[in-house]
Structure 1
Amino acid sequence: MDKRKYIEVVAAIICDGDRIFATQRGYGEWKDWWEFPGGKMEPGETPEVALCREIREELATRISVGERLTTVEYDYPKFHLTMHSYLCTVMSGELTLLEHEGAKWLGLGELDSMRWLPADELVIERLKARAVEGETR
C-alpha cells in the first residue's frame, strides 16, 4: 500500500492580455523555483472558492476565476499532487507578494526561461498546446 501523502491544490494562471503572472517560492526544498500562485484546498471548498481565498491570502488581490485549463497529477518524492489550474484575471487590488520572494509577468515565449516546479511544467505544456490550438482554429 502506498503510504505517500496525497495533496490537492489549486493554481491560478493569472492573465493580462498575452502575459502570465509567475511567482517564485521563498521557502522549503523548492525555494527559488517558479510556480503559479495558489495553494491547498480546504475541506468542503470548491476549486474556485479555494483559488479566490488563496490569491487573497498570498497576493492581497481579488481575482475572477475563468475556465479550468487542466488538472495535473504529479508524483513528487514525498507526496502525490493533484493540481487544478484555472485561467484567471485580476478584479481588484495590486498583486502584492505576501508569501513569495519574487514575481514576474511573462509572455508565452518566456515561460521556458524560468526554473518551474515539475507539476507547473505540465501546466505550461497545456498553455502552449492551447495557444497552438487557438492559432489553428
Structure 2
Amino acid sequence: MPARSNDFQATVYFVQTHLASDATVTESAQLRDRITGEMREVDVLITGHMGGRLIQIGIECRDRNRKDCVSWVEEMRAKHDDLPTDQLVLVSRSGFSASAGRLPDTTRRGRPGGGVHPDGRLSAAAATSDQAKDR
C-alpha cells in the first residue's frame, strides 16, 4: 500500500520531530501486523530508547470537520493491538465526541485527549493553525 498523508498529518509529524529530538520520527511508517503478517500504515511513528528498551509510539491522525467518535477510537485500538507499538496517540483536528472522551484507558493506550493545553508547548502551533484556517 502506498504511503498516504495529508497536511494535518504532516504538521503532526513536523511537531513531533522537534519534540522528540533523540528519537526517530517516521511519517506513514509501515509495521507488520502480528496476526496477518501484512504491512499496516501508521500515520506517524516515534521510535526511541527509554530505560534501555526500544519504545514505539504510534500516532494516528484525523483531519475531518466532525468530531471523532467512539468507533474510530475503537478501530485504532484494535488495529494497534496487533502492531508492535507500545503506545497509541490519537490526534483529531476537530476533537473527540463526549462519548469518545469518556472511554476508559486500556492497558497501553492513552485516552483521547481534550485538545492542546493553552499554556503547553503546542499551544502556539495550534493557534497558528487556527489562524491559517480562518483566512
The TM-score, its normalising length taken from structure 1, stands at 0.28
Which has a greater percent of strand? 1
The TM-score, its normalising length taken from structure 2, stands at 0.28
- The structure, 1 or 2, with the larger RCO (C-alpha pairs under 8 Å, 6+ apart) is 1
